[in-house]
Amino acid sequence: MEFETKNGHLIWDGCDTVALAEKFGTPLYVFSQTMIEEKCQELQRDFVEKYDKVRVAFASKAFSTLAMLKIIQQQGFSLDVVSDGELYTAIKADFPAEQIEMNGNNKSIEELEMAIDYGVGRIIVDSLQEVDLIAAIAKEKQKVVNILFRITPEVNVTTHSFISTGQKDSKFGIPIDEEILFPQIKKAIDTPEVNFLGFHFHVGSQLFDNQAHLAAVGIALDLVKMVKERYNYVIEELNFGGGFGVRYTDADQPKPFSYFTDPMMKVVLAFCEKESYPQPAVVIEPGRSIVAEAGISLHTIGAIKELPGLRKYVSIDGGMTDNIRPGLYQAEYTGVLANQADQPATETVTVSGKACESTDILVKDIQLPKVEAGDIFATFSTGAYGYSMANNYNKLAIPAVVLTKAGKAEVIVKRQSLDQIIQNEVIPDFLQ
Ligand code: LLP
């Protein structure tokens, strides 16, 4: 990993990370606005401005906070939400309703009502009951709702099986099946309360190869053709999901967005040309690739346990509660001692968290300078699915989040207090 240092300290977006740890405490998430914007600009330049009728919808599950949604809004991007909480965050950030797309494999009636009341731009239908549900709610509210069908394109992906979603045996999406998908399409076309726009897929996450996306685009276009032939209906929009891989360690070799988007667009445009079909709008839904590398986590090292000839554990003041990915997906990370960032590595240690769980190991066998209690460990690439999957196991508080921009740093999420951890707890009368 390349990184900047000054006076031996790790510098992040112009900020001294040791000073950030002192000022805001640890554990701390630090997000560089500059780096988030750089990713957005790459998307603007190589996708949005390069092609007609294309959009980017940030998958807010990767990192949903009011400040982050403001950055996304400033870019003119759309937003993908999957729950009442993510939608509520978008509403509170004044995110334009028509630029919101709602995904989710089991949206509740309340969530659908909330989305339709706010007037979200699209609802991505992901279950067989949903068209009827949406139509009933829309009828009552005298609205017409734009929908897409999330399909399972049945393509194989190379990623951790926990984050692959495009296969037939998946809780996500509707299988492309004569008895399953087509009656839904017919219903959507015939139902006046819904405006059937097209198809959506998301094949998986943290992908470095474009083959799965390309195969799925081909399958979606076959469907587009079939819908035209069978129902004389023109599909206006296709959403190709997210999933573009990022660098967690030097072993990861991420590709530019254009590695995925250029060939996908080429296939779409060639189809339109060949079939004399009007070009549908094309949407992509990246989450991780916009925020992962912009975020780091800072922890203070406490207990150090040396098992001679076996392993040296250095424990941090957080762990799987602020980054569950190693425990959940065997995800690998790397990092540095932020206060000795220019020192050569002299020992191999295992950075462990403080949760009561053996899988709470943040980085196994990392080379660091001599570690002492009080050192600050900075983990790279924790911007996606770190804060958003943080939890209160062991009643550890959810850390604060700081946003940096060229030397400035401000808290965008305050540290959870101990009172907040128990604020919803009640002792029933019969225990008094
Ligand atoms: N669109 C849909 C419909 C999705 O389900 C997802 C991710 C995305 C877009 C964004 O994918 P991305 O560009 O971030 O790869 N917690 C896991 C990742 C779960 C992803 C779920 N869906 C992790 O930490 O690796």
Three-state SS annotation for 271-303: HHHHHCCCCCEEEECCCHHHHHHHEEEEEEEEE
As a whole number, the mean pLDDT across the chain is: 97
What is the three-class DSSP state of 107? coil
260 pocket-lining for ligand 1 (C-beta < 6 Å): no
Residue 158 has pLDDT above 70, yes or no: no
Regarding beta strands 295-307 and 28-32, do their DSSP bridges make them parallel or antiparallel, or are they unpaired? antiparallel
Binding positions: 243, 285-288, 325, 329, 357, 385
Same domain membership, residue 168 and residue 101: yes
Whether ligand 1 lies within 6 angstroms of the CB of 213 is answered as no
CA gap 37, 406 in Å, rounded: 12
Q: How confident is the model at residue 156 (pLDDT cuts 50, 70, 90)?
A: confident
Determine how many CB atoms are found less than 10 A away from the CB of residue 279: 17
Q: Is the pLDDT of residue 189 over 80?
A: yes
Question: Which has the closest alpha carbon to 371: 279, 300, 432?
Answer: 300
211/78 same-domain check: yes
What is the C-alpha to C-alpha distance for residues 35 and 291, in angstroms, rounded to an integer?
A: 8
Confidence of residue 159 (pLDDT cuts 50, 70, 90): low
Q: Point out the catalytic residue in the list 15, 40, 272, 356.
A: 356
Pairwise CA distance, residues 180 & 204, whole Å: 22
pLDDT band for 31, please (50, 70, 90 cuts).
very high
User: Is residue 242 lining ligand 1, measured as CB closer than 6 Å?
Assistant: yes
- Residue range 331-347: mean pLDDT, rounded: 98
* C-alpha span between 12 and 402 (Å, rounded): 11
- Same domain as 263, residue 163: yes
Residue 324 CA: which ligand 1 atom is closest? 24
pLDDT in tens, 300-315: 999 999 999 999 999 9
Is the pLDDT assigned to residue 274 strictly greater than 70? yes
4-6, strands of its sheet edge to edge: 4-6, 9-12, 15-16
Q: Collapsing DSSP states into helix, strand and coil, what is residue 203?
A: coil
pLDDT over 90 at 386, yes or no: yes
| Catalytic-residue membership of 272 | no
Nearest to 101 by CA among 147, 64, 70: 147
Q: What's the pTM?
A: 0.97
Read off φ and ψ for residue 101, nearest 5 degrees: -120, 135
On whether the CB atoms of residues 188 and 141 are closer than 8 A, the answer is no
141 burial via Cβ count (<10 Å: 0-12, 13-18, 19+): middle
Indicate if 106 and 191 belong to the same structural domain: yes
Cα(397)–Cα(354) distance, rounded to whole angstroms?
12
Specify the pairing of strand 78-81 against strand 100-102: parallel
Last residue of one domain, picked from the residues 239, 270, 286: 286
Residue nearest to atom 15 of ligand 1 (CA): 243
3-class secondary structure per residue, 128-144: CCHHHHHHHHHHHCCCC
Q: What is the pLDDT of residue 303?
A: 98
Q: Which of 286, 310, 326 is the last residue of a domain?
A: 286
Ligand 1 mean position to 167 CA, how many Å?
Answer: 15
Ligand 1 neighbour 78 (Cβ under 6 A): no
For residue 154, the model assigns a pLDDT of 86
Rounded Cα distance, 139 and 148, in Å: 18
Q: Whose CA is nearest to atom 23 of ligand 1?
A: 385
For ligand 1, atom 8, the nearest C-alpha belongs to: 242
In tens, the pLDDT along 192-232 reads 999 999 999 999 999 999 999 999 999 999 999 999 999 99
- pLDDT(112) > 70: yes
User: Mean per-residue pLDDT for 246-269?
Assistant: 98
User: What is the model's pLDDT at position 30?
Assistant: 99
| CA 188 – ligand 1 centroid, Å | 27
Report if residue 351 sits inside a domain. yes
CB of 62 closer than 6 A to ligand 1? yes
Ligand 1 geometric centre to CA of 285 (Å): 9
pLDDT surpassing 70 at residue 326: yes
Task: List residues forming the annotated binding site for substrate.
Answer: 288, 325, 329, 357, 385
- Do 22 and 167 fall into the same domain? no
Q: Residue 165 pLDDT > 90, yes or no?
A: no
Provide the domain limits for residue 369: 4-30+292-422
As a whole number of angstroms, the distance between CA 118 and CA 122 comes to 11
Residue range 55-103, pLDDT digits in tens: 999 999 999 999 999 999 999 999 999 999 999 999 999 999 999 999 9
The per-residue pLDDT for 141 is 98
DSSP assignment of 322-338: T--HHHHH-----EEEG
The total number of structural domains in the chain stands at 2
How far apart CA 47 and CA 281 sit, in angstroms, is 12
Lowest mean pLDDT among 136-150, 171-185, 233-247: 171-185
Structure tokens at 391: 């939890």
Residue 240 lies in a domain: yes
Which residue, 252, 286, 320, sits at the end of a domain? 286
Confidence of residue 169 (pLDDT cuts 50, 70, 90): confident
180 and 241, same domain (yes or no):
yes
Q: Would the pLDDT of 164 be above 80?
A: no
**pLDDT band per the 50, 70, 90 thresholds, residue 161:** low
> For residue 101, what is the domain's CATH number?
3.20.20.10
267 and 311, same domain (yes or no):
no
Looking at the chain, how many residues does it have?
A: 432
Beta strand 361-368 with 347-352: parallel, antiparallel or unpaired?
antiparallel
